[in-house]
Amino acid sequence: MGEPKFSVSEITTFHQTFEQDLACYREAGVEGVGVWEFKLPEGPDSETVAKLRDSGLSATTCIPGVLSIWPVPFPGPTDPKERTEALCAAIRRFAPFEPEVILCVTGHPGDTDPAEGRRVLVEGMRQAARVAAEYGLTLGLEPLHRKVYGHWSVIGTIPETIELLDEIGEPNVGLLYDVYHLWDTDGILEHTVRHGSRIVPSVHICDWRADTRNDFDRALPGDGIMDLPAIFGALEAGGAVGWFDLEIFSDDGTFTDRDFEDSLWKQDPLDVVKRGRAGFLKAWEARMAPA
């Protein structure tokens, strides 16, 4: 097959505005943009949608400001009902952008009884899915790395996510595959192939630094220790190839007290995007079909 479609999640160029991101990505030869709600300018979104259309870029994985039913360590309400309402409002807001997928995570119920926490989560996700269905949109439920983001999520593997998707039971909810969160889980290649049809067509990519220093310290594709060619081969074998969305967190003191001198957020955004795209294409060209 030809080259896959490449996009950039706006967190990768954290300090740029939405308009700057559009210009940067176009210049870098990127085809899509993963829109983060916090980057949308104030005022009517009609002008922002028009700028997206004029840029020629497609909206890929869009990230709501409130992206989970249970809380995560981001600003926002703590009550699941309020969070569900905020998530549904974000879905409606994103609809005119015609995104490939809208990302959700579960959040964590804390000390709530596990059975009740699961019930609230499932009902909230069903409500959000039905709102998304009104606009013909897909939700992507993302498992998070258990060792890094265990307090953010109740799912950390592909099988756990599939089980939850089956419980939610809405046809427009799939698995949002992020290599950062899944690359070292048991049986990753086998599960990727087996459940490829449940993976939404916009995959988050980056690499894992050998000397990862905190939760916000990702590397560009090819600059870390992931076996990206094997993962890409498994995604292709499972039929889960669509958009590949570069998502980089690289702390410069914004999220924690760690201010890394080599933070990718401190570097030239255009150069970062170009290097990320080149690293991805190199790994894609070297992809390996699973044994």
pTM of the model: 0.96
* Helix (H/G/I), strand (E/B), else coil: 8: strand
Give the chain's domains with CATH numbers: 5-285 (3.20.20.150)
**Distance between CA atoms of 191 and 9, rounded to whole angstroms?**
25
* Helix (H/G/I), strand (E/B), else coil: 74: coil
Dihedral sign, Cα of residue 46, residue 103, residue 151, residue 153: positive
Phi, psi torsion values for 167, nearest 5 degrees: -70, -40
pLDDT of residue 147: 77
22, 57 Cβ separation under 8 angstroms: yes
**Residue 136, class by beta-carbon neighbours within 10 Å (0-12 exposed, 13-18 middle, 19+ buried)?**
exposed
68, 109 Cβ separation under 8 angstroms: no
5, 243 Cβ separation under 8 angstroms: yes
pLDDT of residue 1: 44
Dihedral sign, Cα of residue 124, residue 145, residue 149, residue 100: negative
pLDDT in tens, the chain (291 residues): 456 899 999 999 999 999 999 999 999 999 999 999 999 999 899 999 999 999 999 999 999 999 999 999 888 999 999 999 999 999 999 999 999 999 999 999 999 999 999 999 999 999 999 999 999 999 999 999 987 777 899 999 999 999 999 999 999 999 999 999 999 999 999 999 999 999 999 999 999 999 999 889 999 999 999 999 999 999 999 999 999 999 999 999 988 888 999 999 999 999 999 999 999 999 999 999 887
The tokens 């269905």 sit on which residue? 133
End-to-end CA distance of the chain: 20
Identity at 135, one-letter amino acid code: Y
* Helix (H/G/I), strand (E/B), else coil: 202: strand
